[in-house]
Amino acid sequence: MSAEGKKGQLKSNNSPLLIAGPCSAESEEQLRKSIFPILHKVDFVRAGVWKPRTRPGNFEGAGEDALIWMNNLRQETPFKAAIEVATPEHVELALKHNIDLLWIGARTTVNPFAVSELAAALKGTDVPVYVKNPIHPELALWKGALERLAKANIKQLGAIHRGFHTYQKTEFRNVPMWQIPMELKSEFPELPLICDPSHIGGSRAMIESLSQKALDLNFNGLMIETHFDPDNALSDAQQQVTPARLIEIIDQLIIREAHF
């Protein structure tokens, strides 16, 4: 324990939520090697099943096959699974395969029509639904998506800060603009707010410092991309960390009083 807080306790009682796993589910073997070594450290395993690529021609996800791989692995060793959904059909398949947490991606949050369709498909669900901020720095769209889902009586809502695209040249892939998630938090103090340092930094070297910054700002958790062979990942190769590095990062993070 350090003077300011405790190290390495992301998984204790009230400690921050930790979601980790690969950007994309690529195969059952890739999932196994990427997530089995971290299961004792994480609350939910993430894996992208339908990938929202900004431009065509890249890996777009394995679809329902990936849900089957996850469930095969969960039969061996149970874990809670989290995926991104962007359409009512994704929601239907995710619920059919008993996915435990859903998130709405940055490219969907920007679109009120898409969010309304998702809200209708999710109406009344007990499954937690987390909403990433829209790609560009537009707090109203983020709030609007959360409000549409709240109106559909989705009981466990949360928000994910993944940074904002701007045309400025900066060290970040998506500039954090911490004041925007902080403003969301002050307006909705009960809403769990977690940070995605992977998509903010866009580089594995930045994951630890961004995670610590988020914890220092009292974020309620982290979502971190983890791949057993990051350099050969089919998406977001530069920002994924190995399972061993993820564990090292978690064990280094200092958790402040507010999380105890």
- Lay out the site mask for Mn ion across 19-58 (x = CB under 5 A, - = otherwise): ----x-----------------------------------
Find the helix packing angle between 88-96 and 64-76, rounded to 10°: 20
90 touches ligand PEP (CB under 6 A)? no
CB of 251 to ligand PEP, least distance (A): 24
Question: CB neighbours of 48 closer than 8 A, spacing ≥ 6?
Answer: 22, 23, 24, 25, 61, 83, 84, 235
Stretch that binds ligand PEP, among 86-94, 102-110, 114-122, 184-192 (CB under 6 A): 102-110
Q: Identify residue 200 by its one-letter amino acid code.
A: I
Give which of Mn ion, ligand PEP, none residue 41 binds (C-beta under 5 to 8 Å, depending on kind): none
How many other CB atoms are found less than 10 A from the CB of residue 187?
A: 11
Among 162, 173, 227, 259, binds ligand PEP (CB under 6 A): 162
- Give me 218's structure tokens: 């009292």
Q: Does 23 bind ligand PEP (CB under 6 A)?
A: yes
In the list 1, 27, 52, 89, the residue contacting ligand PEP (rule: CB under 6 A) is: 52
- Decide whether 220 or 226 has the Cβ nearer to Mn ion: 226
Q: Which partner from the list ligand PEP, Mn ion, none does 162 bind, CB cut-off 5 to 8 Å by kind?
A: ligand PEP
Instruction: Name the one range near Mn ion by CB under 5 A: 15-23, 77-85, 103-111, 171-179.
Output: 15-23
Measured between alpha carbons, how far is 84 from 46 in angstroms, rounded to an integer? 9
Residue 105 binds ligand PEP (CB under 6 A): yes
Q: Cα separation of 183 and 256, whole Å?
A: 20
Q: Which of 148, 161, 199, 259 binds ligand PEP (CB under 6 A)?
A: 199
**Structure tokens that stand for 158 in this block:** 């949360």
Please choose, from the candidates 115, 179, 125, the residue with its C-alpha nearest in 3D space to the C-alpha of residue 157.
125
Q: What is the DSSP letter of 116?
A: H
CA atoms within 13 A of residue 146's CA, in its CB half-sphere: 23
Residues of this chain that interact with Mn ion (CB under 5 A) are: 23, 236
